[in-house]
Amino acid sequence: MKALKLTLTVLAILISVGSFAQSFNNDSLRNQAITDWERAKAYTKEYIDAMPDKGMSFKPTPEMRSFAEQMLHLANANMGLSSFGTGAKIMNPEKDLEKMDELKTKAALTKTVMDSYDFVINGIKKMDVSKLGNKVTMESFKVTTNQLDWIDKTFEHQTHHRGQCTVYLRLMGVTPPQERLF
């Protein structure tokens, strides 16, 4: 019975993803993607705003990223991964934001992370949605997938790293922002 439920769940997800990919070419779905990214941007800003200034360098364990590094990693990937989906060109793609100490203040971090969301949102606004099925290869990961998948993976990635920051806030005695599904 569990195997049947799992199979049906996976099938439903695949059908949903396939339907989404086939119908993404219209403006209403582009607008939904923009709405989702704007919501994610606002939600991420709430996380940065919630962390006290002294928490920018906080690491739950020595081998983990600091809060600022976690958010800068998110920003780097927002631009890097989404560029494969939208075709937008990154300025200074060789920069590793995570390693730039001047970006680890609350003000600089907020600006950088918010700019990364604007990069994705503007890329989606300007993209040619007729090319979403086109295959794009990311040599560093040795991955080839279509442009829509790159946009989806970017969203998944930022959600993952923002979610990790919940633990950082809790360990600093801060209540994380309320979830934003809509």
Q: Where are the domains of the chain?
A: 26-171
The sign of the CA dihedral 132, 135, 138, 141 is positive
CATH class of 26-171: mainly alpha
Q: What percent of the chain has pLDDT over 70?
A: 86
Nearest to 150 by CA among 136, 131, 139: 136
Give this prediction's pTM: 0.84
Model pLDDT for residues 66-87, shown as the tens digit of each residue: 999 999 999 999 999 999 999 9
- Residues with Cβ within 8 Å of 53's Cβ and at least 6 positions away in sequence, in order, are 105, 106
Q: Show the DSSP H helices in the chain as ranges.
A: 2-23, 27-50, 67-86, 106-126, 147-171
Q: How confident is the model at residue 177 (pLDDT cuts 50, 70, 90)?
A: very high
29 vs 148: which has the higher pLDDT: 148
C-alpha atoms less than 13 angstroms from C-alpha of 96 in its C-beta half-sphere:
3
pLDDT tens per residue across span 30-62: 888 999 999 999 999 999 999 999 999 999 999
**Interhelix angle 27-50/106-126, nearest 10 degrees:** 180
